[in-house]
Every structure is written in structure tokens, then in C-alpha cells.
Amino acid sequence: MKQQRFGIAPMRALFACFAVVVAALLASCGGGGGIPYTGVTIRPLPADFTSRKAVAYSPYRTAASEADLATEVVPKANIKQDLDLLLAAGFRAIRLFDSSDKVARQTLEVIRDNNLNIKVQLGAFVLGSSVAESQAEIARCVALANAFPDIVLAVSVGNETMVSWAFNRIEPSVMAGYLRSAG
């Protein structure tokens, strides 16, 4: 009788060996441990953050260049008109890119003073070239978020500076330093 070169038993052994190797590879992808404890409590995002129709908002109407932004006057009446249009279009959340008095504070005040059903993701626009300005921007952002807790749903810091294509890229370690200094 002629013997088979590959019987069922050797195939099972090969399959078992393959399964062990795959299991070991998958187990090794776990990253080697847990997330280090930083002592910081992270507030979960409210349901409103993901359930509201949202859009980025800026009240500038006439600025044609970066230099024009500094000189354009932004009346609260214009902000109110813009927000009424956004509400009519079904938007119930806006994202602001900075925490300036000219834009963020005025927009938050218009929402509060007119009891508008709009929530805000408040941004802090940090600059890699100026530590003092970046720290001041983050401090303004924290102060506004604390002053308008019923309106500000979330805060984003350095969103435009953490991507590889940013013109003013900030390294994550520098950004972490800014955030630690904000308390």
C-alpha cells in the first residue's frame, strides 16, 4: 500500500501552528499597556455636540485679506443677523476659530442676550511663533468657556496647528506645554 505524503494529522498540526502564530501576532498589537494616568479629568462631550447640525462661523463680511481682519468692525447686529440666518437653515451649533473679544465674546453674548438655540465649539488659535500670545489666547478661551457654560459645548485648541500641512505648525510637546500652563 502506498503512503500519502500529507495526511490529515499533519495538516491539523500545521493549521494549529498557524493559529498560534496569528494569535501571538494579534496579542502583540496591544501596545504594551494602558494609558498613563495624567491626573486630568476629561469631561465627556455632551450629546448636543454630535446631534446638532453644525457649521464653522466667522462674522467678517468685508475683509479681503489677513490685514483687513484687524481693522474690520464687527457689529453685534451683524452677528445676530448671521445667527438668525443659520437658525433658519437648521444649524444649531457653530465653531468659532478663536477666542477674541471681537469675535468669540461678542458672538457668545449675542447668543446669550437673545436666548438663541445655538451651541458653540470654541476655538483657541495658537501661534507657534509667540508663546505669550498663545498662552493669552488659551487663557481667553478657558475664561469664555467658564463664563458661558450653557452655550460652549466644547473647546478645541490648536486645531489648525497640529496638522502636517499647517503654515504655523506646533509640535505636540509644545502644545502640551501650552495646555499644562492653562491649568
Helix (H) or strand (E) holding 74: none
Q: Give residue 8's pLDDT.
A: 62
> Mind listing the pLDDT tens digit for each residue in 56-101?
999 999 888 888 888 889 999 999 999 999 999 999 999 998 888 8
Q: Give residue 38's pLDDT.
A: 67
Is 3 a residue whose pLDDT tops 60? Answer: no
Helix (H) or strand (E) holding 162: none
pTM of the shown model: 0.72
Q: Give residue 156's pLDDT.
A: 86
Q: Give residue 165's pLDDT.
A: 77
Of 122, 82, 75, nearest to 100 (Cα)? 122
Q: Give residue 76's pLDDT.
A: 97
Of 95, 6, 10, nearest to 56 (Cα)? 95
> Mind listing the pLDDT tens digit for each residue in 32-67?
555 566 676 777 888 888 889 999 999 999 888 888
Task: Give the phi and the psi of residue 69 in degrees, each rounded to 5.
Answer: -60, -35
Q: Give residue 52's pLDDT.
A: 92
pLDDT band, residue 19 (cuts 50/70/90): low
> Mind listing the pLDDT tens digit for each residue in 168-177?
777 777 777 7
Query: Angle, nearest 10°, between helix axes 76-88 and 106-113?
Result: 60
Domain boundaries, the chain: 47-182
Instruction: Give the Å distances, CA to CA, from 105 to 84, 101, 102, 110, 178.
Output: 18, 5, 7, 9, 21
> Mind listing the pLDDT tens digit for each residue in 123-166?
988 876 678 888 888 899 999 999 999 999 998 887 777 777 77
Mean pLDDT (whole number) for 10-37: 59
